Amino acid sequence: MKLAPEGDWMLGEDFTKRAKHHESIKALWETKWKFPCSIGVYPFHDGKLEDFEPVFQYLIENNINDAYTDAYTTAFFPTCDALLAKAESETLAKNHAEASSLYFRIAALYRISRFPIMNSPIKYQAWEAQKAAYLKATANWVDPLTEELIPHTFRTEEEGEHIPVYVRVPVTASAAKPVPTMLLITGLDGYRPDNTQRSYEFVSRGWGVVIVEIPGTADSPADAKDPSSPDRLWDSVFKWMRERKIFDMKSVVSWGLSCGGYYAVRIAHTHAKQLKGSVAQGAGVHHFFGEGWLRKADDHEYPFDLSPALAQKYGYSSPEELFKGAQEKFSLLSTGIVQKPSCRLLLINGTHDGLMPIEDSLLLMNHGSPKEARFFPNLLHMGYPVSNNSIYPWLEGVMASC
């Protein structure tokens, strides 16, 4: 497969255009976020328009346009506090369904308030509040979701001692009846509490799920600056999974979302023997890390400027350092990872992805083991809204295979 030279992107002229929603918080809300919020889809899962609209009106009226600031984050807190008082009242009255609904709404608000990355104590305050609300919201699930701390057995001295994960398994799971399991790898801004629907999809199929955050984000203990840190992370996770006994270690499939797609590609090569398959959705693996791409990615479909969050995630002190150093250090092509044999690997994306170029998925076809793919013409990052229609049938086939 012949690829166009870097810089001649499939995005065409849209590569050089700045999307309208970057003009202001008003433009973001009215042109990009209000409609998804009204129907409860990404990134507003579990939320309600009636909660978000007054917050965004406040942001608009006060000309608060930068989501990296504490002023943006704290604008959500009064609404969260009011809903929390209602949720606690419903809990005391033992109205568990209503309380759960309110806690989900609170978690959704805190999720948007901590966008796009935790870069201050206030952002971390919102993150801790989101997790607390989410665990209360899920407390009465029949197939329970739990937070567990995995010993990071293979850590270096620079890395944390534990890997916080969310675990959800069918209530019937046991050492005598271990379940096929999804290793769900999160992204740049979507973390463990942001996967309610996916966890339902998994347990409804009789599968368990272990949700893990990627280096440089949320609670991950992995060294953001070290390209090999995810390999140690997975070593520790798999060791713990084997010891727990409730996971069928012959039927483990990983699924990486957005920035997590990179890690889904990497783990498919570095831990091929531990996986039945891997889904890399919206993956950037080489061209994504190039200076030419990164300097324009701020202008595309991400809600806010992307490069400051990416710089922090990969352990750089500024976007400029990211632009100059990321490709040589993190590219899976430059480091030779993609030349290794891999497990079954499904590549999913929209051909008009402005965050992680579709060229990276095409590049993977030219290296290592044969790949499987579904690319959606003219759709944006991750191939939403139709990509799940291809992912779940593929997962079912992989899980059912011998």
Query: Which residue spans within 186-246 are E strands per DSSP?
Result: 208-212
pLDDT band at 8 (very low <50, low <70, confident <90, very high): confident
Q: What angle do CA 318, 324, 329 make, to 5 degrees?
A: 100
Alpha carbons 84 and 218: distance in angstroms, whole number: 23
Whether 14 is catalytic: no
| Catalytic annotation, pick one of 22, 152, 269, 381 | 381
| Catalytic annotation, pick one of 223, 231, 353, 360 | 353
Q: What angle do CA 306, 308, 310 make, to 5 degrees?
A: 70
Q: What are phi and psi of 226, to 5 degrees?
A: -100, 110
| Catalytic annotation, pick one of 258, 278, 331, 387 | 258
Whether 162 is catalytic: no
Q: What is the mean pLDDT of the chain?
A: 96
- The one-character DSSP state at 8 is S
165's CB contacts (< 8 A; 6+ apart) are: 147, 148, 149, 150, 192, 210, 211, 212, 237
Asked if the model's pLDDT at residue 385 lies above 80, the reply is yes
Is residue 276 within 8 Å of 287, Cβ to Cβ?
no
183: β partners: 210, 254
- For the segment 42-100, what is each residue's pLDDT rounded down to a tens digit? 999 999 999 999 999 999 999 999 999 999 999 999 999 999 999 999 999 999 999 99
Asked if the model's pLDDT at residue 6 lies above 70, the reply is no
Mean pLDDT to the nearest integer, 176-197: 98
- The one-character DSSP state at 332 is T
Alpha carbons 183 and 20: distance in angstroms, whole number: 36
How many other CB atoms are found less than 10 A from the CB of residue 43?
16
Mean pLDDT to the nearest integer, 280-294: 97
Radius of gyration for the chain, computed over Cα atoms and rounded to the nearest angstrom: 20
Asked if the model's pLDDT at residue 178 lies above 70, the reply is yes
Whether 381 is catalytic: yes
User: What is the residue-wise DSSP string for 261-288?
Assistant: HHHHHHHHHHTGGG-SEEEEES--SSGG
Alpha carbons 211 and 33: distance in angstroms, whole number: 26
pLDDT at 3: 46
Distance of CA 323 to the CA centre of its chain: 22
Q: Identity (one letter) of the amino acid at 99?
A: A
pLDDT at 340: 96
pLDDT at 1: 38
Is residue 285 within 8 Å of 360, Cβ to Cβ?
yes
Domains of the chain: 40-140 (1.20.1440), 143-400 (3.40.50.1820)
376: β partners: 350
- For the segment 203-235, what is each residue's pLDDT rounded down to a tens digit? 999 999 999 999 999 999 999 999 999 999 999
Determine if the pTM surpasses 0.95: yes
Helix (H) and strand (E) counts for the chain? 15, 8
